[in-house]
Amino acid sequence: MGETPLGAPVASGRTAEIFSWGEGTILKLFHCGAALPELELERHNAAAARACGVATPTVHDLVRHGRRWGLVFERVDGPTLLEKIQARPEDMERWATELARLHLALHQAPVRVTRLPDQRQRLERKIRHGQRLAPAHRAAVLGLLERLPAGSALCHGDFHPANVIMSADGPVIIDWIDAALGNPLADVARTSVVLLGHLNSGGVDEQEKAGLELFHETYLHQYMGATPDRWTEYEQWLVVAAAARLTEDIAGERDWLLAAVIEGLRAARPRR
């Protein structure tokens, strides 16, 4: 017997498509070529985040459909925070404040598991394997990373509005493949790089650009209000986060990311 047809995906992204899957569940089906260890890591990370008390869908089975692997998750209905922003751009500051609140709460979650990846090691691996940085710049970023303080907080690794579902029962955070234990400001810097990279990608009109600038500024100041003495550290993490993002090779963002790394290194250079 052949496999049951999946029908049309209910959502899709760069790495996977989402399909309805039985009663109360969805299938996150990864594109061909996805490495099985990465799926197993996401399954583990999602379960770990839930064990820490974060609102995130229960993860069930690892399954194969045709030549593709997927993960079965509890189904959570509702628009993403990104869709909320797109539907009501006049509420941009409200949504940005909500993103900051959720991110801060995530970082304050009690860590009840220790078997999560180390943030510094993940960032170092990405930067070493990237092909876009000149050797001197790569060495300088790695040196900066080594000097920055480590941490032990739960960090998402890719926290942005498309990864928050606004369900009837409250916000739910999804996509934990890049989760790690580490420094919360590195996680905030990653969010900034995602938002600013899209803003500077060249595919955004002036009206949307103004809205994104307001969203990012509001999010950042709301979050940093809890740690107002750590702006310099955040700016240094921004350099590291931009260098790590380069390994994802997103065409429209390359020039901005490279410039962010080079200018950030120049600003972070100790003054004599």
Distance set, CA 12 to CA 4, 27, 28, 76, 135 (Å): 19, 11, 9, 15, 36
For the cut 80, the answer to whether the pLDDT of residue 271 exceeds it is: no
Q: Rounded CA gap, 68 and 31, in Å?
A: 6
Domain ranges for the chain, please list them. Answer: 11-74, 81-268
Contacts of 13 (CB under 8 A, 6+ apart): 162
Mean pLDDT of the chain: 93
Q: What is the CATH number of domain 81-268?
A: 3.90.1200.10
**Architecture, CATH, for domain 11-74:** 2-Layer Sandwich (3.30)
For residues 60 and 73, is the Cβ–Cβ distance under 8 A? yes
| Residue 64 tokens, joined | 């194969």
Quick one: which of 195, 182, 187 has its CA closest to 158?
187
Task: Tell me how long the chain is.
Answer: 272
Q: Rounded CA gap, 39 and 153, in Å?
A: 22
pLDDT score recorded for residue 1: 40
User: Which pLDDT tens digit goes with each residue over 151-195?
Assistant: 999 999 999 999 999 999 999 999 999 999 999 999 999 999 999
Question: What pTM was computed for the model?
Answer: 0.94
For the cut 60, the answer to whether the pLDDT of residue 33 exceeds it is: yes
User: Which pLDDT tens digit goes with each residue over 91-125?
Assistant: 999 999 999 999 999 999 999 877 899 999 999 99
Q: Rounded CA gap, 66 and 82, in Å?
A: 31
